[in-house]
Structure 1
Amino acid sequence: MKYYFLTGEPSGDLHASNCIKEIMRLDNNADFAFTGGDLMEELTGKKAAIHIKQMAFMGFIRVLQNIFTIKQNFKIVKKDILNYKPDLLVLVDYPGFNLRMAKWAHENNIKVDFYVSPTVWAWKEGRVEIIKKYVNKLFVILPFEEAFYKEKHDHQVYFVGHPLIDAIEQKKPTLKTKVDFIKENGLNEKPIIAILPGSRAQEIEYMLGIMMEVTKNFSDHQFVVGGSTNLPASFYDSLKKYNIKVVFNQTYELMSYAEAGIIKSGTSTLESALFKLPEVVCYKSGALSIKIAKMLVDVKYISLPNLIMDKPVVKELIQNDLSVKGISDELKKLLHDIPYREKMINDYIELEKQLGGPGASKRLAVELVKDATTNN
């Protein structure tokens, strides 16, 4: 069968590639086309119709600034899908783009499944109606989402578990040892504090400077930045004056061997939790984007650990609260307040149980293969 995967962000590249791997085991005749990243390209041996480097735009203002590129991306993807004639179109996260694609695909008699629900429980709840009308099946990865759709909108969705559990377990046996990680990256023997500032240029521009100033307060630790391959290495040149090391494609090693983390809100907050890394969560964006978001968003927390557990598992420092003092104070607690640290790790253990255990990618793949081979 022919599967077209459409994603536009690094996390989508990860989740889609793991699902594709499972489909390959179930469907010997599977063929794939996609928009995506390096992981999907390496797995399939094919080039993405559009690479995620040309698709990831964050915030209202940046979307407006890149509106021409986004419109061109729509044209390219629509043409590619029509030429490919997939048995199933699988939309992975990336809701601003993918919900429009769902409508278009439905109008062109292309079966659509959606993986990773838009955050309709936080804002723009009206998007549920788009999903109900144009999507064949929605597969969700957060435990509370199934109940949200059923109880509030009388709509059946399918909780398959969170794919990060699989991704991490598959990766663990291949991780470098701590000795090799330190040696190969020119690190010293001081305890490590991880800094994960995000994968988009604008995220790093807003937050990395503040994060760097924190390093001056912890001379007995070494700070290591997890760099994004979606950005040129030269983007991190400003860190040289702080004598900070940047590592690429070694995020899981960094999470494994760090004592604490300064983490940008997003998928990395959940990854850190699954690695049992005590963390402080940070987020800062343009003033106008934040003002608009506050008008539209109805949610108590922004980090995945807190959202899933529905309580403040980790400290969130957002916008004006994101300061050198705020991060430093929380880091001191994470490093030195043993009961505080242990409580966070215990919450992480409970969180992992709620995520459904291993096998999410396989459970999803089974359903996608069924849908691709069923005419309805």
Structure 2
Amino acid sequence: MTPSLLLVAGEASGDHHGALLLSEMKRICPDLVCHAAGGPALAEAGAKIVVPMDRLNVMGFFEVASRLPGVIASYRSLLATVDREKIRTAVLIDFPDFNLLLARALKSRGVRIHYYVSPQLWAWRKGRVRTIRRLVDHMFVIFPFEEPFYREHGVPVTYAGHPLLDEPFPEPQEKQALREEFLGEAPKAPLVALAPGSRPGEIRRLYPRMLAALALLEKRIPGIRALVPVPPSVSDEVYRAIEKTVPHPPVIRISGRFREVMAAADCALVTSGTATLETGLVGTPLVVVYVMNQGSYRLARWLVDVPAIGMVNLVAGRMVAPELIQEAATPQAMADHLWSILSDPSERTRILADLERLRQVLGGPGASARIARAILERSGLCNPPSVPGSPKAPWSTTPP
């Protein structure tokens, strides 16, 4: 019988992590068939896309309500696929509001559930750990501080490193060549990266403010330009429509090359999320920004209990990047923080030193390969051979 599994990723970073994981699983088990909710990265890795990611990719309590019919249809499509294909193993990646609901139905069908990339229970709604303990057969976490949390609550857990380190980062000596590639010439003024997110809704909220901040910064630094990394899952038209409404200095949109764009930039405005950590690992000084629906924000303030929202700051354990959230995320504030990074050598040196420590916290590469092997072994989908020289790194685990 052909081994098969269900893999569910509801947003861009999950699609990316899932693609790395699936590539490693198929390397070990070439006959594996993966049915998925996901995006272009998972499709390229060989998944059969049952539900396109953009049907699920929405952020905020009130925003979800407007997309509910499509979400329900996606939920039913995934379960119909599980029933039709007799799938008995699922990998759910982050996206807890949808995935934990799906997990209940999967569990009732006897599906073994592996959860990859933990919901941020340590930040808010900690009570969900009881649901996870009941539904999830094994939790695979990507931050070292998450493993003790789950162990203390009786959830079988493994920390095997962070998948962001599984792909190479641009080297510092590549910076100038990347700048010339993207601009078509050597830059005559600083270069800023603008990363307004991976969801159309957050892009529409943040990109106008970022462009306005760039225009303010141009008054202090004539000739400044910006690079904009465009996620493969988002239409270029979303950006073009916004650019027509906001006066701004020249911007160049680059599709699908986030790390190279960040490496080319002197500093960056980055929407809160995995992108802040990835930018920090590249080594580019950044300002973390976020704006959401006002009702969702009020509710989040009541529920969330963390000292920072930027993943780069949470992993570092200190504020290595300033955060501008909601009303504080004005174009003027963004411009002022970028100016501080660009004009104060001591501030820039401090930030770069803090960012360098991030890799020490997260460890080395090989997380995707280790987790792929563990899932295949635990699920019995196939028996991974013992491969000499296969990735090994410090990891911890509690038994199933």
TM-score range for the pair, normalised by the shorter chain length? over 0.9
2:163 is aligned to 163
Question: For the aligned residues, what is the CA RMSD?
Answer: 2.1
Looking at structure 1, the residues matched to 108 and 238 of structure 2 have their Cα atoms a distance apart, in angstroms, of 42
Tell me how far 1:210 sits from its aligned partner. Answer: 1.4
Tell me how far 1:188 sits from its aligned partner. Answer: 6.2
Q: 1:349 aligns with which of 347, 356, 370?
A: 356
Looking at structure 2, the residues matched to 5 and 273 of structure 1 have their Cα atoms a distance apart, in angstroms, of 28
1:99 is aligned to 100
SS at match of 1:49: strand
1:323-357 per-position Cα deviation (integer Å, ceiling 9, x unaligned): 12211121122112222222222222222111131
Looking at structure 2, the residues matched to 246 and 374 of structure 1 have their Cα atoms a distance apart, in angstroms, of 42
More helix by share: 1
Rate the CA distance shift 1:324–1:28 in 2: closer, same or farther, 3 A.
closer
Looking at structure 2, the residues matched to 263 and 63 of structure 1 have their Cα atoms a distance apart, in angstroms, of 23
Looking at structure 2, the residues matched to 166 and 337 of structure 1 have their Cα atoms a distance apart, in angstroms, of 33
Rate the CA distance shift 1:183–1:145 in 2: closer, same or farther, 3 A.
closer
Rate the CA distance shift 1:133–1:182 in 2: closer, same or farther, 3 A.
same
Looking at structure 1, the residues matched to 111 and 224 of structure 2 have their Cα atoms a distance apart, in angstroms, of 54
Q: Does 1:328 align with 2:335?
A: yes
Amino acid at match of 1:202: G
1:308 is aligned to 315
2:229 is aligned to 226
Looking at structure 2, the residues matched to 27 and 348 of structure 1 have their Cα atoms a distance apart, in angstroms, of 37
Please list, as runs of the form range in 1=range in 2, the aligned pairs for 1:63-74 lying within 5 A after superposition. Answer: 63-74=64-75
Please list, as runs of the form range in 1=range in 2, the aligned pairs for 1:1-376 lying within 5 A after superposition. Answer: 1-44=3-46, 46-151=47-152, 153-167=153-167, 169=168, 172=170, 178-179=176-177, 182-183=180-181, 189-190=187-188, 191-216=190-215, 217-218=217-218, 219-237=222-240, 238-240=242-244, 241-242=247-248, 243-373=250-380
SS at match of 2:254: strand
1:255-303 per-position Cα deviation (integer Å, ceiling 9, x unaligned): 1110000000011101101100100000011211100111111111100
- Contact 2:37/2:51, CA 8 A, preserved across alignment: yes
Q: Which moved more, 1:122-131 or 1:21-30?
A: 21-30
SS at match of 1:22: helix
- Contact 1:214/1:328, CA 8 A, preserved across alignment: yes
Looking at structure 1, the residues matched to 304 and 335 of structure 2 have their Cα atoms a distance apart, in angstroms, of 28
Looking at structure 1, the residues matched to 154 and 42 of structure 2 have their Cα atoms a distance apart, in angstroms, of 35
Amino acid at match of 2:95: Y
- Contact 1:206/1:284, CA 8 A, preserved across alignment: yes
Amino acid at match of 1:274: L
Amino acid at match of 1:72: A
Looking at structure 2, the residues matched to 323 and 331 of structure 1 have their Cα atoms a distance apart, in angstroms, of 13
Looking at structure 2, the residues matched to 186 and 318 of structure 1 have their Cα atoms a distance apart, in angstroms, of 35
Looking at structure 2, the residues matched to 157 and 184 of structure 1 have their Cα atoms a distance apart, in angstroms, of 43
Tell me how far 1:208 sits from its aligned partner. Answer: 1.4
Rate the CA distance shift 1:49–1:135 in 2: closer, same or farther, 3 A.
same
Tell me how far 1:184 sits from its aligned partner. Answer: 5.5
Q: Which moved more, 1:359-368 or 1:230-239?
A: 230-239
1:117-172 per-position Cα deviation (integer Å, ceiling 9, x unaligned): 11111111111011100111000001110112223x243411111101113x1x65
- Contact 1:103/1:130, CA 8 A, preserved across alignment: no
1:194-225 per-position Cα deviation (integer Å, ceiling 9, x unaligned): 00000111111211111111112232421122
Amino acid at match of 1:112: I
| Number of equivalences | 371
- Contact 1:87/1:373, CA 8 A, preserved across alignment: no
- Contact 2:170/2:282, CA 8 A, preserved across alignment: no
Tell me how far 1:185 sits from its aligned partner. Answer: 5.5
Tell me how far 1:115 sits from its aligned partner. Answer: 0.2
Amino acid at match of 2:243: L
- Contact 2:139/2:155, CA 8 A, preserved across alignment: no
TM-score normalised to the size of structure 1? 0.93
Task: Structure 2: give runs of 5+ residues left out of the alignment.
Answer: 383-399
- Contact 2:88/2:110, CA 8 A, preserved across alignment: no
- Contact 1:160/1:356, CA 8 A, preserved across alignment: no
1:91-116 per-position Cα deviation (integer Å, ceiling 9, x unaligned): 11111111111111111101110001
Tell me how far 1:181 sits from its aligned partner. Answer: 5.8
SS at match of 2:365: coil
